[in-house]
């Protein structure tokens, strides 16, 4: 029987990276986003603004001297001084973004994934809400990833042409793209590849004990 001819299923990773259609391997550069999509652009700008207070309030809830010391635990480095404001701001952001995506699903490429993520996040936020003294630090540690989310959106907004950050000339534009991309990869590796495994190990220890 002849092979079935149909539309190739789009990979989720293609939202943020260029992918070879045949080998599925990652290619240099970024996806080109020069198409007219006002819903997406407006949603991106909303996130670039709304994520700032979430990130800032998270940062100021940590004692960075203790954190950098390395001899203390994450829980000991968490002050929680501004936790009520941090919690309220975070919940407000996720609720607002959830409603936005439900009402205007064309603002993102994978609305179902975003909705599921936000619902799961709001459910897990019930834990630090009910036990702020014991798990507030965990909320802060997990949500530090929003720095990486901000950079992910920023490199899409400021690099719609999809230029590769390592090959373009050092113009004012390319320096901005390079810095955003460098910080994106630094935070992606440090948070998702190093911090999150540490958190999982701590959670496992707490569960086991």
Q: What is the DSSP string of 71-94?
A: SS-HHHHB--TTHHHHHHHHHHHH
* Predicted pLDDT of residue 71: 82
pTM across the whole model: 0.79
102-129 pLDDT per residue, tens: 999 999 988 999 999 999 999 999 999 9
Is residue 123 packed enough to be buried (19+ CB in 10 Å), middle (13-18) or exposed (0-12)?
Answer: exposed
For 18, list phi and psi in degrees, rounded to 5.
-80, 135
Q: Report the distance separating Cα 108 and Cα 187, nearest Å.
A: 22
Q: Provide the token pair at 182.
A: 């460098």
């Amino acid at each position: 029987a002849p092979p079935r001819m149909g539309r190739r299923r789009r990979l989720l990773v293609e939202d943020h990276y260029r992918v070879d259609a045949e080998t599925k391997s990652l290619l240099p550069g970024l996806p080109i986003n020069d198409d007219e999509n006002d819903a997406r652009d407006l949603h991106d700008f909303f996130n670039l603004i709304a994520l700032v207070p979430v990130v800032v309030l998270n940062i100021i809830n940590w004692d960075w001297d203790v954190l950098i010391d390395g001899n203390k635990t994450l829980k000991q480095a968490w002050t929680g001084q501004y936790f009520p404001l941090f919690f309220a701001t975070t919940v407000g952001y996720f609720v607002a973004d959830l409603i936005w995506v439900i009402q205007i699903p064309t603002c993102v490429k994978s609305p179902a994934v975003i909705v599921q993520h936000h619902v799961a996040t709001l459910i897990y936020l019930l834990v630090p809400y009910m036990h702020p003294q014991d798990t507030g630090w965990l909320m802060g540690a997990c949500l530090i990833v929003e720095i990486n989310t901000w950079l992910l959106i920023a490199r899409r907004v400021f690099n719609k042409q999809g230029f590769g950050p390592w090959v373009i000339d050092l113009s004012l534009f390319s320096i901005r793209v390079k810095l955003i991309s460098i910080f994106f990869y630094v935070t992606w590796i440090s948070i998702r590849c190093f911090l999150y495994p540490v958190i999982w190990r701590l959670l496992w220890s707490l569960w086991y004990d």
